[in-house]
Structure 1
Amino acid sequence: MPKILLIDDDAELGGPLAVYFQRFGLELACALTPSAGLALLRQGGFDAAILDVMLPEMDGFALCRAIRKDSQLPIIMLTARGEVMDRVVGLELGADDYLPKPFEPRELVARLLTVLRRQRLPDATPSLHFDGLDIHLDTRRVLRQGPDGMVELELTSTEFELLTLLAREPGKVLGRDDILNRLRGHEAELQTRAVDLLVSRLRKKLEPLDCIKTWRNAGYSLAVGRV
């Protein structure tokens, strides 16, 4: 059973949500503070985390940054105000998805199942090989050519899925809306900006390899030779 960690200072939220999660085969553990949440994460055994933005000790953005230093655990941010900038910042820091409060528990479960499915979904093709880039689909490892040989990259689940999406059809231009809908499985208010942020983040991690091409008013494609 997948185990999820909720870090939210609302003491009345975790109990009912844990009961609801059980209906979908999910186990929910709760922490009321970032320090308590980080302590639980260090013990291991979690498959994803849900972070509230408004927290004591540090906000959810700082907490997301702290988690990303050591882990690529799937993260969903809860943005109390639902503001666009909150969502932009969360995505820039490496969050895999966001959900504004108040939210419907069923939608939160749906988004959790989506990121978990992307994280664990097996693939019939074990790997994709390009000039200076290896993508291992079965182990979700990405290796990029560096000055001293191949270097393994640390990608979030969404970054990995974006790279894989482009790599499955190298040279084909995929529009922003199409990319977002195929990655998330649902419409989102932040369509164009979200994809641009993900591409920018992925490009930075792929440097000095320049393999994602922007097509003005059209979208993105993987521009690197397959081997």
Structure 2
Amino acid sequence: MVKVLMIEDDEELAEILSEYLQRFNIETVNVPDPFLGLSKLETQPFDLVILDLSLPGMDGLDVCEQIRKRNDIPIIISSARNDLTDKIVGLEKGADDYLPKPYDPRELVARIKTILRRIGREKSEDSKNSAELRFDKNSRMIYFRGEPLHLTAAEYGILTYLLEHANEVVSREDLIYNVDAIHEDSSLKSIDVIISRIRHKLEDNPKQPRFIRSVRGLGYRLTP
């Protein structure tokens, strides 16, 4: 479930939005006080912040700035202040989106999902890259130490899957059923052969691999 912190002093509106978002598997914790909101971000994990601007004790733009100094969490400003300057300043201070009130709650749901999809893609891309191994989504190429690797379809599929699950143990069965270029009737031994070929393209000493290591009885782990 997605967990959202809403910093909103209109408690009636916050309750309406919270009930609506719940339908879409989005749990909302609302606080009317900006200082309490900043404190909760320090002590609890959240996926996104919905931030009003007209708050007691601290302007929402300052709250946005404080959040961004401490955290890279996505921020949607939700405000009745329709001044273009507020929107520009809010985005400059680190907000990811600005939604002027009043709005249809369906639009808020759409904005939340769009931002989280984008963040998810960025994290996925980061997880595929390291100082030595880099996956380029656009060209569908894998680079090793700055040079493109020349891989067969099966080698490319297996290495991509290992990169997506870097530092996790991946079984041979996982590779057979999740890599399109591998036929489901392939033997476990055939996976070992392909892994060996990949090692020869990555490792200085394939017999003592540093990147793709065997985990006895379980499978393989890629440590990029």
- Is the TM value for this pair above 0.5? yes
> What is the TM-score with the length of structure 2 in the denominator?
0.55
Percent of residue pairs identical: 46
Match for residue 191 of structure 1? none
Could you tell me how far apart the structure 1 residues matched to 2:23 and 2:45 are? 20
Q: Give a deviation string over 1:10-67, Cα, whole Å, max 9, x none.
A: 0111212111111111001100010111121111210000110111111110001111
Contact 1:82 1:99 in 2 (8 A): no
Could you tell me how far apart the structure 2 residues matched to 1:86 and 1:104 are? 21
Q: What is the root-mean-square deviation in Å for CA atoms of aligned residues?
A: 2.6
How far does residue 79 in structure 1 lie from its aligned partner after superposition?
A: 2.7
Match for residue 19 of structure 1? 19
Match of 1:126 among 120, 125, 128: 128
- Structure 1's unaligned 5+ residue stretches are 139-227
- Structure 2's unaligned 5+ residue stretches are 138-224
Residues 135, 63 of structure 1: CA spacing in aligned structure 2 closer, same or farther, 3 A cutoff? farther
> What is the TM-score with the length of structure 1 in the denominator?
0.54
Secondary structure, aligned partner of 1:12: helix
How far does residue 84 in structure 1 lie from its aligned partner after superposition?
A: 1.1
- Amino acid of the structure 1 residue aligned with 2:63: L
Alignment of structure 1 residues 41-56 onto 2, 5 Å? 41-56=41-56
Contact 2:51 2:60 in 1 (8 A): yes
Alignment of structure 1 residues 1-227 onto 2, 5 Å? 1-121=1-121, 122-123=124-125, 126-127=128-129
Secondary structure, aligned partner of 2:4: strand
Could you tell me how far apart the structure 2 residues matched to 1:8 and 1:40 are? 14
- Amino acid of the structure 2 residue aligned with 1:75: I
Residues 125, 28 of structure 1: CA spacing in aligned structure 2 closer, same or farther, 3 A cutoff? closer
Q: Which has the higher contact order (CA 8 A, sep 6+)?
A: 1
Runs of 4+ in 1 over 2 A off after TM superposition: 121-129, 134-138
How far does residue 126 in structure 1 lie from its aligned partner after superposition?
A: 2.4
Could you tell me how far apart the structure 2 residues matched to 1:116 and 1:53 are? 22
- Amino acid of the structure 1 residue aligned with 2:43: Q
How far does residue 123 in structure 1 lie from its aligned partner after superposition?
A: 4.2
Match for residue 176 of structure 1? none
Number of equivalenced pairs: 134
Match for residue 158 of structure 1? none
How far does residue 127 in structure 1 lie from its aligned partner after superposition?
A: 3.5
Bigger share in helix: 2
How far does residue 136 in structure 1 lie from its aligned partner after superposition?
A: 8.3
Residues 137, 57 of structure 1: CA spacing in aligned structure 2 closer, same or farther, 3 A cutoff? farther
Could you tell me how far apart the structure 2 residues matched to 1:95 and 1:6 are? 14
Q: Give a deviation string over 1:62-84, Cα, whole Å, max 9, x none.
A: 00111111100000012312221
Pick the structure with greater CA Rg.
2
Contact 2:48 2:74 in 1 (8 A): yes
